[in-house]
Amino acid sequence: MQSNSKIEQSLAVMKENGLKYTKKREAMITYLIRRNRYVSAREVYEFMNQEFNGVSYDTIYRNLHDFADFELLETTDLNGEKKFRFRCCHEVGHHHHFICTVCGKTKEIHMCPMDFFKEQLNGCEIEGHRFEIFGRCEECR
């Protein structure tokens, strides 16, 4: 999917969820699409402060959480910090990630180990799960 189409889809999802269009929101989602890896709120803030001098960190943080609530972003905790990644507008189904601990690059894993665990937890009701593999990517090895 083209980057412009992802941006347009994301802006439509924001509008559907009651967020007004702003150049800042478009710039944030564009940045996240282009980064294509998990990034911290601080990284987004530093980028946005270059583009929109004086932007509030709280505004960036609140918008990132709104975007995650609308399922535009995936989140993870990496090294004790919440990180955000563009979710591809639902074009990819259920999946997990390999995350490089050096550069943050991610690779999608298109299988889920939960089938194995469900067999081990007979009679239990599983309400959710997270599965991520951490290591060094090809470039960082």
Domains of the chain: 3-89 (1.10.10.10), 96-135 (no CATH)
Buried b (16+ CB within 10 A) or exposed e, 101-117: eeebbbeeeeeeeeeee
For residue 91, what pLDDT is reported? 54
92 has a pLDDT exceeding 70: no
For residue 93, what pLDDT is reported? 66
Can you give the pTM of this predicted structure? Answer: 0.76
Measure the CA–CA gap between 121 and 105, rounded to whole angstroms. 33
Which of 65, 71, 141 lies closest to 100 in space, CA to CA? 141
Judged by DSSP in three states, 45 sits in helix
Share of the chain above pLDDT 70, in %: 94
Please say whether the beta carbons of 88 and 6 come within 8 A.
yes
137 marked as binding residue: yes
Measure the CA–CA gap between 4 and 23, rounded to whole angstroms. 14
100 marked as binding residue: yes
88 marked as binding residue: no
CB atoms within 10 A of CB 67: 24
| Average pLDDT value over all residues in the chain | 88
140 marked as binding residue: yes
112 marked as binding residue: no
103 marked as binding residue: yes
Measure the CA–CA gap between 99 and 68, rounded to whole angstroms. 18
